[in-house]
Amino acid sequence: MRFGWQLSLVCLLSFSCLVLADVKQQEVSNLTNTFQIQPTTCVSLHQGQACFVNLTLSWHTANKGNYCLYSSDQTSALKCWMADNQGVMVQEFNTAQSLHFYLKQDKSDDVIAAAELEVSWVYKKQQKSRLSWRLF
């Protein structure tokens, strides 16, 4: 019985340390803005051909606000979120060149986060045509 209150105190302190560690971890993860796209690469058969991809774009910011998602191939916003600190968008893209995506705060040109969809191909374009005539 003599050690009962000490054991209770140790358990209480251990639990509070675990709770504080969890809160500390959440605070650290909320300090940064994250922006992810999946997949990050789109593959076409031949260089110069368009590739087709169903892209998932997700983001998270430390503060709630009005945010819009933009791409390098168009000037208007792809999608906007109002009074939010996270969002997800799924959309099909077809492109022959790499695309850059930007998360911006509404009414601002400051880029909060960015990601790139890289386009690659299985076969590179040949430099010369195989059907060339030689005089000598």
Cβ–Cβ under 8 Å, residues 69 and 89: yes
Q: Which CATH architecture has domain 32-123?
A: Sandwich (2.60)
Average pLDDT over residues 6-22: 41
**pLDDT band at 127, cuts 50/70/90?**
low
Is the pLDDT at 113 greater than 60, yes or no? Answer: yes
34-77 pLDDT per residue, tens? 999 999 999 999 988 999 999 999 999 999 999 999 999 888 99
Average pLDDT over residues 102-110: 89
Q: What pLDDT score does 20 carry? A: 38
Instruction: Give CA separation, 67 vs 18, 20, 71, 102, in Å.
Output: 34, 31, 14, 10
78-98 pLDDT per residue, tens? 999 999 999 999 999 999 999
Domain ranges of the chain: 1-31, 32-123
